[in-house]
Every structure is written in C-alpha cells, then in structure tokens.
Structure 1
Amino acid sequence: ISKLYQTPQCVIFPERTIEECTELNKNKSENEQYSEEVLKALNMR
C-alpha cells in the first residue's frame, strides 16, 4: 500500500523487550503513559 500511495515508511528495531517497555511505561506520569493495547500493538508490528 505504501508504494501505491508513495508514502514514506521505516523499519524500527527496538532494543528493549516488551516487558522492559511496559515497566518503563509504568514509571511515566499517568497522562504520558501508553495504554496496554497500544504497547501490545506496537510490539506486534
């Protein structure tokens, strides 16, 4: 799809596990935290 519409794309290789990301997310203030759904969706991509 991105080639069809000529949109830029990038591949990200995270250096953290989902467990580490979840723990770091818990340390953020409540209004800055990602939801568990968002973290799982990002991990699956």
Structure 2
Amino acid sequence: MESDELMATARDLKAPFELVKGIHDDGVLPVVNFAAGGISPHQTQR
C-alpha cells in the first residue's frame, strides 16, 4: 500500500495516520494483553 492509500484508509476509519501506518508496517495491532498476573505487552509468536 502506498502512502496516499494509507492516508485514505486513515481518513475513512477516522484514525490517526501514524497509527494506520504503524499497523501496516508492523503487521499487528498495538494491543495490551490483560492477564491474571497483571498487564503484559503483546508478544509476537515465534
């Protein structure tokens, strides 16, 4: 996807461009896993 397509997607979703670009670049959503032991950052499966 090119930058102008990402900009259009961000506008359609009413989301910040940096967030849409980051998700596109990383391939994952920036979410936090709430576990019984507390809060831990999302871990990428290997």
What range is the shorter-chain TM-score in? Answer: 0.3 to 0.5
Q: TM-score, normalised by structure 2?
A: 0.33
Higher relative contact order (CA 8 A, sep 6+): 1
